[in-house]
């Protein structure tokens, strides 16, 4: 039977975020979460019973979101368990369902905030597939149209980044500015609240 440490490995950064930002019954979208509960800072967008979403600290483009499970599953295939524990199997199924339910909602909020028309949803399994954190997660990556002024960043605009043809090559990412991250996360939470208005049946996911 899996131990608590199997579900929340102490060295896993996503498990640390999950532990630092527990789900509350009031809403899956936090009002103003403290970004300094973990180091490096976490710009939280969603804190639901089975999944969390936050900004990538090494974004490929401004608004790059990570959607992950609250409990620790290494790869996507681990979400289908054959555990003898009914609760483990139930959680794996609920986590998979929550990922699928929140992906389109987060996508709509992302498009609304960034003004993008194109975006990638990427999910990596294993080191050879470019999975850096061994905790199952999805990337939502905005792809800004060439020539459009970048609304999500106040600094210089990289034309190659706006075309955004490259994927996970080294050197293609830079650290998230905490001020910009806080602003972006706040806008995404507001847009997400609009998306889930009247969506109370799925708020439990």
Structure tokens at 163: 């075309």
CA separation for the pair 143, 11 (Å, rounded) = 32
Structural domain includes residue 205: no
The pLDDT of residue 24: 86
Rounded to an integer, what is the distance from CA 133 to the centroid of its chain? 12
Structural domain includes residue 203: no
Q: Which of 87, 54, 8, 59 is nearest to 185 (CA)?
A: 54
Structural domain includes residue 47: yes
Provide the domain count of the chain: 1
Q: Point out the residues of the chain with pLDDT beneath 70.
A: 1-10, 81-86, 146-172, 198-205
The pLDDT of residue 167: 55
Structural domain includes residue 178: yes
Structural domain includes residue 19: yes
CA separation for the pair 98, 96 (Å, rounded) = 5
Rounded to an integer, what is the distance from CA 77 to the centroid of its chain? 19
Under 8 Å between Cβ of 68 and 51? yes
The pLDDT of residue 152: 45
Rounded to 5 degrees, what angle do the CA atoms 203, 104, 112 make?
Answer: 100
Structural domain includes residue 204: no
Percentage above 90 pLDDT, the chain: 67
CA separation for the pair 90, 79 (Å, rounded) = 10
Q: Which of 161, 23, 6 is nearest to 102 (CA)?
A: 23
CA separation for the pair 135, 76 (Å, rounded) = 9
Domain of 15, CATH number, reads 3.30.428.10
Structural domain includes residue 80: yes
Characterise 166 by phi-psi region: left (phi > 0), alpha (psi -120 to 50), beta (else). Answer: beta
Residue-wise pLDDT for 82-135, tens only, equals 666 667 788 999 999 999 999 999 999 999 999 999 999 999 999 999 999 999
Q: Whole domain around residue 88: which residue ranges?
A: 4-197
CA separation for the pair 195, 180 (Å, rounded) = 22
Q: Which of 80, 85, 101, 110 is nearest to 204 (CA)?
A: 101
């Amino acid at each position: 039977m899996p131990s608590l440490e199997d579900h929340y490995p102490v060295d896993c950064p996503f498990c640390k975020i999950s532990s630092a930002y527990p789900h509350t019954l009031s809403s899956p979208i936090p009002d103003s979460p403290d970004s300094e509960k973990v180091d490096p800072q976490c710009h939280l967008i969603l804190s639901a019973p089975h999944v969390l979403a936050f900004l990538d600290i090494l974004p490929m483009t401004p608004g790059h979101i990570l959607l992950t499970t609250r409990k620790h599953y290494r790869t996507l295939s681990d979400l289908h368990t054959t555990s003898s524990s009914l609760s483990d199997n139930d959680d794996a199924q609920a986590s998979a369902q929550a990922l699928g339910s929140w992906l389109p909602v987060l996508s709509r909020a992302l498009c609304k905030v960034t003004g993008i028309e194109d975006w990638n949803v990427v999910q990596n399994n294993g080191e050879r597939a470019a999975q850096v954190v061994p905790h199952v997660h999805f990337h939502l990556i905005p792809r800004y149209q060439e020539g459009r002024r970048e609304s999500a960043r106040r600094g210089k605009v990289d034309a190659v980044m706006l075309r955004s043809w490259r994927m996970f090559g080294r050197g293609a990412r830079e650290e998230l500015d905490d001020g910009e991250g806080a602003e972006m996360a706040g806008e995404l939470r507001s847009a997400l609240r609009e998306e889930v208005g009247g969506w109370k049946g799925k708020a439990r996911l």
